[in-house]
A and B are shown apart, each in its own frame.
Chain A
Amino acid sequence: MFSGLKGLIITLKTGLRKPVTVQYPKMHAPIQERFMGFPALTWDFEVSEPYCVGCMVCIRNCPTQCMTATMGDNPLYAEGKSPRRKIVESFEINLGRCILCNICVEVCNFDAIEMSYEHELSTFERNGRRVGLAALLEMGKKYQKESSWIPPIAKGKSASKATSDREQAI
C-alpha cells in the first residue's frame, strides 16, 4: 500500500518542478562546442580561395560515398599568389546520405573540410539536400566565424592538440 502512495508523492514533487521542455523552434537547446553537424568546406581568408585542393581522400574514405568532386589547375598559383597547385573545381555532398561520422575530417591532409554546426535538414524533395561548392563554402565560412577556427595542420600542430587549443582560445 505504502509504496504506491510513495509513488504518488514523487509525482506530486515532480509536478511542482520546473518543466524541462525547450519549445522548439522558438527556443533551441544549446549546441555544444564539439557538435558534429554537416560537413562544410573551409575558406582560406589570407589567399581568398578554398583550402580544398580536390585530392579526393575524403571521398574515397566516406562510408556512404555521399561526395563527388573534381580537381582543376589553380589559376592563382600560376599568378604566384597561392601555394596550392591544384584547387577544387566542383564539390557536391548529398547531405541526406551523410552519417556525420567525422571520417572525412580525420583523413583530410589540408584542413579543408570541417563538421559545421548545421543540423536542420528538411526539404520537400527526396534528394533535395545535395549542396554544391558555393553553399558548402558559405557553411564553412559561417562555421569558421562561429567557432573562431584555427586550421590545425597548417600551423604544424596535431589535430587533438588543436582542439584543446581551440577551447583555450574560447
Chain B
Amino acid sequence: MKIVLQFAIVAMSIIAIFTALLFSGQTDIFLKALHASALFGFLSIVVLALIWYERKLLARIQMRIGPMRVGPFGILQTIADAIKLVTKEDIIPSETDKILYWLAPIVVFLPSFVVWTVVPFTPSLVIQEMELSLLFILASSTLSIVGLVMAGWSSANKYSVLGALRATAQLISYEIPIIITALTIAMLANSLNIIEIVLSQSSQPYLLLQPMGLLLFFIAALAELGRTPFDIYHAESELAGGPFLEYSGTHWSIFYLAEYFNTFLFATLVSLLFLGGWLGPWLPGIIWLFAKIFIVISIIFWIRGTYPRLRIDQLMEVGWKGLVPLSFTNFVLTAVFIYYKWPLWILGFLGLMSILVIMFAFKQQKSSQPPSIMLIPSSEVRHV
C-alpha cells in the first residue's frame, strides 16, 4: 500500500509541474522538459537492455546461458529484478544522518542524468546544444563523487566510511587522464562543442591520430565507472563492502541506475570523441552511433569477464605512475605538433609506436625473470 501511495504522489507531482509549465506560457522550457522526460524513458529502456546484455554476454563467456525464464530469452528479467528491488523493505540503520542518507543517492544520480541533455545523438537530436558541452559533461560527472562521500559518511558504519574514502581517491585520481585526453581531442578539433568535434572527424576518426589517447581514455573510463579491473570499491569478496553497504531496496537501485547511466555515457563519449560518432557511409547516422556504442560496451563487458581486480594501492599506482604521465606527454606532443603544423598522421604513427614499445618493454621485463616453478623428475627425487 505504501508503495502505491508513493508512486501516486510522484506521478501527480510530475503532472503538476508539467501543467504549470504549460500554462505559464514558457513553451520552449515545457518542450525541453518533455524531451528530457522522453530521454529519461529512453535511457531507462537502454539500461534495461544493457543489464540483460551484460548478463547474457558474461554467461556466454562462462559457457552457460544467462537468464532464460522470465520472458522469451529472459528479456523481462531486469524488470523482474527492478520490481523486486522496489518492493524490498528499506532497512535504514538507526544511527544514520537521515538527511545525508536520503540525499546521497540523489546527488549521485542527478549529475549522471543531467549531462545527457547535452549529448548529441545526431546534429539535430540534442536537447540543449551548448558551445562548451564537453566541458559541461566532464565537470558535472565529477559532482557525483560528493554523493559517494555523503553515502559513506552517513551510514553509521566504519567500513562504509573507509570504502567511500577509497572510492573517492580512486575516482578523483582517474579524472585527470580523462580530462587531459579529452582536452587533447578538443585541441585537435579546435572546439569544445561535441558536435563540431564529431564533424571534424569526417576525414579520419581521431582513433587513427590518437591511439594512445583512446587507450588512456578507455582505461581511465573503466576506473571511473568502477568496472573490473578497478571495481574494488563495490566488490563483495573484499573486506569493506564499500560506500553502498547500508543501502537496500529503492535507494540502492538508484545507485545501480546511476552506474549504468554512467557506463552508457562513457561508451557514448568514446564513440563520439574517438570513433567518429554518427559519421559513416550509407546508413543513417544514429545507427552508426549505436553500433559503435555497442562495440565499446561489449569490450567493457568482455574485460569484466576476463580480468581479476587490482588492489587499491596498485590501482593508485597504475593511475598516478602510468596513466597521468602518459596523458600529459600525449597532450604536450599533440600541442607541439599542432603549433608547428607538422603532419598529424605522424602523430598517430608515434602513438601506435609508443603503445607497442610499452608492451614490448613489459614483455622484456617479464621474460628476463619469468615467473616459473621447477619440475623435478621422479628419478631425481627417488635418488634423494
Contact = CB atoms under 8 A, between A and B. Distances in A.
A161 interface: no
Q: Give me the 3 closest cross-chain CB pairs, A-B, nearest first.
A: A1-B359, A21-B64, A1-B362
B23 interface: no
B63 A20 contact: yes
Interface stretch (B100-108, B187-195, B300-308): B300-308
Contact of B307 (A2, A7, A12, A19): A7
B306 A11 contact: yes
Contacts of A12: 302
A80 interface: no
B64 A20 contact: yes
B359 A2 contact: yes
Given A15-B57, A19-B65, 18 more contacts: A1-B359, A1-B362, A7-B306, A8-B302, A8-B306, A10-B306, A11-B302, A12-B302, A14-B61, A15-B61, A17-B63, A19-B59, A19-B63, A19-B64, A20-B63, A20-B64, A21-B65, A23-B65
Nearest to B64: A21
B363 interface: yes
B305 to A, nearest CB: 6
B35 interface: no
Contact of B61 (A2, A4, A11, A21): A11
Contacts, number: 37
Contacts of B98: none
Contacts of B358: 1
A85 B64 CA distance: 57
Interface residues of B, number: 18
Interface residues of A, number: 15
B88 interface: no
B68 interface: yes
Chain B interface, >50% SS class? helix
A124 to B, nearest CB: 22
B32 interface: no
B302 A14 contact: no
B60 interface: yes
Contacts of B68: 23
Contacts of A20: 63-64
Contact of A15 (B60, B303, B307, B359): B60
B62 to A, nearest CB: 8
Interface in B29-88: 57, 59-65, 68
A11 B359 contact: no
Interface string B217-248: 00000000000000000000000000000000
A4 B228 CA distance: 13
A19 B362 contact: no
B306 A19 contact: no
A22 to B, nearest CB: 10
Contacts of B60: 15, 19
Contact of B63 (A8, A14, A23): A14
Interface string B163-186: 000000000000000000000000
Contacts of A15: 57, 60-61
B63 A1 contact: no
Contacts of A2: 359, 363
B363 A1 contact: yes
A11 to B, nearest CB: 5
A18 to B, nearest CB: 8
B1 to A, nearest CB: 29
Contacts of B307: 4, 7
Interface in A103-158: none
Nearest to A17: B63
A73 to B, nearest CB: 55
